[in-house]
């Protein structure tokens, strides 16, 4: 994923929270909606309930690595926001990638 393919603005996150669809896994909650054509963008949030800054950063790194692993298979033109859960820092990125792939496949967001 390129550096500019991230959601950074508050209004972008709020748009997905209000208008997007929500799916959940044990490691994260994923919001998604149609975005700019031809691009897949990701935003990640990890609140203070996750733990210390070290735990929050690890949760974000795990989700980013999982997303990068399956990025070529994701349909273009969608924006995603992943909200880390309390157990996220304890998962390996490969396990999170499996969860993410399964959720996206079940919701028709994977190019087959």
Q: Does pTM surpass 0.85?
A: yes
Residue 89, judged by CB atoms within 10 A of its CB (0-12, 13-18, 19+), counts as buried
Over its length of 112 residues, how does the chain's per-residue pLDDT go in tens digits?
555 589 999 999 999 999 999 999 999 999 999 988 789 999 999 999 999 999 999 999 999 999 999 999 999 999 999 999 999 999 999 999 999 999 999 999 998 7
CATH of domain 10-106: 3.30.230.10
| Length in residues, the chain | 112
Question: Cβ of 52: how many Cβ atoms within 10 Å?
Answer: 10
Q: What is the full DSSP assignment across 43-99? A: EEE--GGG-SHHHHHHHHHHHHHHHHHHGGGBPSSEEEEEEE-TTGGGS-HHHHHHH
Contact 64, 42 (CB under 8 A): yes
Q: Quick one: pLDDT at residue 1?
A: 54
């Amino acid at each position: 994923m390129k550096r500019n393919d991230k959601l950074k603005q508050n209004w972008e996150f709020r748009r997905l929270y209000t208008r997007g669809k929500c799916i959940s896994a044990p490691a994260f909650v994923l919001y998604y909606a149609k975005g700019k054509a031809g691009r897949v963008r990701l935003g990640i949030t990890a609140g203070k309930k996750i733990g210390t800054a070290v735990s929050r950063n690890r949760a974000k790194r795990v989700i980013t690595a999982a997303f990068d692993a399956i990025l070529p298979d994701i349909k273009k033109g969608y924006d995603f926001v992943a909200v880390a859960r309390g157990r996220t820092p304890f998962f390996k990125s490969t396990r999170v990638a499996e969860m993410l792939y399964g959720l996206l496949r079940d919701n028709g967001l994977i190019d087959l």
